[in-house]
Structure 1
């Protein structure tokens, strides 16, 4: 089934298409979205950063316009797919990784598995810092309830967008239409269920993969910035305190009156913060 997603290009990775946008010139930046989302969540940052960077936004496998994997969709599988994308796109230099929500965990996993790939990490309301997650995602781990809850419906799409943003002005008809288009992909529900059940249970996010990943990332001598919105209803803002404790070398920032996507709700301030962070001399 063809979905009405905004125009973008594709790169073939191991015989599968990955939808992407690539623009600008300069140090390479890779923008990674969250679970069930698309590269549209970084549209504003893509445009701003492309003024002086080579910016790559992509749909993770099984999301948006990217084909699903032949193997189960797990965190390591997504990280490996991003690495494959970089190879296919001819990106040899270390990249500045920016990940929101699940995309943050993917960025950490890629960095832990292949440290030479990363020049720095920017983690935006990232998964991986605590057990707590919105009940809407925890319920998806229950069989067979999860598949029933993932049936595409305009009211569900609107509720989901409303939970993501603190300011309801960002819950636009365009964003709701994109969410519905993505949910109507024939493989969308299966990809979501595989990811949800590999990362957590109805009780919350599993501790084992979080502990392993944070230990590996903390051991890296890599510039890191962790940001959060204080009104996040998906992953609570107190996870930022965990980030401070587990990644003591990281710089942290809390956006006030902001939900799960500071890169959208605080686009100009987010861009200024990130580019200032990148301008600092590397350790």
Structure 2
């Protein structure tokens, strides 16, 4: 694991890890996750300046007063300013990070040279029941209570092959869940995006309409066995963003950047090098 560092953005601490040289690539993780999710991909890619960021309220970055996508995207943009990342960076997002990446592109298109969306939020209503019930009073406290068994079950749910739910990843998930305010931040963010009915339509439709009007190369990748956001969302993505390239990975879950890292690295390199 490369050593992570901290910068201050608008009075809030942001954790990031930067390696390599070359065109900048920004890596944004999913809900309740951290920049460690990008470690396999960062090891597999070369020839780029890779910058993984803990989104506000997750990993070891401080939470913001609000958790709307626009606020998260502005905070990422602020971190890029502090880190002196030039405009025209490739932005890669997984799950929640994909929605933040799209919001960043819509709000500051000059910042984004391309979008790579891996099992990204924003393409459909369907979502795992564990996120739906976070909308229910009291139950969310029980569900998000830190426990080794819960961490193990959560890690296994994001992979097709349970071998990827390693003791190290389970231990990290448990440590993140024990951070002060972690459960409340997770629930706030989940509630902002969806309810017991599923992912909210309003922000999805608004965001996809704006992104579809951008002239930004876009790649959307999904795993056939994603149990968090189903692979049927890839069809929705192709409809909403007809100019995007799409790819379905067999025998992969919600974390293709870990489970199918070599294929994803080759795919991204080809996508970025293509005129």
- TM bin, normalised by shorter chain, reads over 0.9
Which residue of 40, 54, 58 corresponds with 1:59? 54
User: Where do 5+ consecutive residues of structure 1 fail to align?
Assistant: none
The runs of at least 4 aligned residues of structure 1 exceeding 4 Å deviation read none
Q: 1:40 pairs with 28, 36, 40, which one? A: 36
Deviation at residue 231 of structure 1 after TM alignment: 0.3
Q: What is aligned with 1:273? A: 267
More divergent stretch after superposition (14-23 vs 249-258): 14-23
Matched, 1:198 2:192: yes
One of 198, 212, 221 as aligned partner of 1:218: 212
> 2:181 is matched with which residue?
187
1:13 is matched with 9
Q: Deviations over 1:243-283 (max 9, x none)?
A: 011100000000000000111111101100010011111xx
Report deviation, 1:7. Answer: 4.2
Within 2, Cα distance between the matches of 1:219 and 1:199?
Answer: 22
Q: CA deviation at 1:6?
A: 8.0
Q: Pick from 76, 83, 91 the counterpart of residue 82 of structure 1.
A: 76
Partners of 2:169 and 2:2 in 1: CA distance: 11
Count of paired positions: 275
* Structure-1-length-normalised TM-score: 0.95
CA contact (8 A) 2:20 2:47 kept: yes
TM-score between the two structures when normalised by the length of structure 2: 0.98
**Distance of 1:19 and 1:59 partners within structure 2:** 5
Counterpart residue number, 2:139: 145
Alignment RMSD (CA, Å)? 1.1
Unaligned runs of 5+ in 2: none
What is the rounded CA distance, in whole Å, between the counterparts of 1:74 and 1:181 in structure 2?
25
3-state SS of paired residue (2:77): helix
CA distance in structure 2 between the partners assigned to 1:174 and 1:162 by the alignment:
13
State the shift of 1:229 in Å: 0.2
Q: CA contact under 8 A between 2:2 and 2:17: conserved in structure 1?
A: no
Is 1:127–2:139 an aligned residue pair? no
- C-alpha distance in 2 between matches for 1:174 and 1:122: 27
